[in-house]
Structure 1
């Protein structure tokens, strides 16, 4: 899944269009990751 995401990311950057969307997705993934880690610690 991660490799597929990276490939999509590279294609988006090459297109030059979907970069803000990509950034938003990346931020959401980071936030989701922190929430999962927090849930596991608690």
Structure 2
């Protein structure tokens, strides 16, 4: 198990409101990708 896990998280919408999505990538301190996932959120505001 890594000593440190870094979470890169972002999301947004096209329009306000508009179609929206979010996602994340988890890496260890060496930059090795551990997990990644993206989600469609439907209509949302930014």
- Aligning the two structures, in what range does the TM-score lie when normalised by the shorter sequence? under 0.3
Larger radius of gyration: 2
Of Structure 1 and Structure 2, the greater helix share is in 1
- Greater percentage in strand: 2
Could you state the TM-score of these two structures normalised by the residue count of structure 2? 0.24
TM-score computed with the length of structure 1 as normaliser? 0.25
Higher relative contact order (CA 8 A, sep 6+): 2
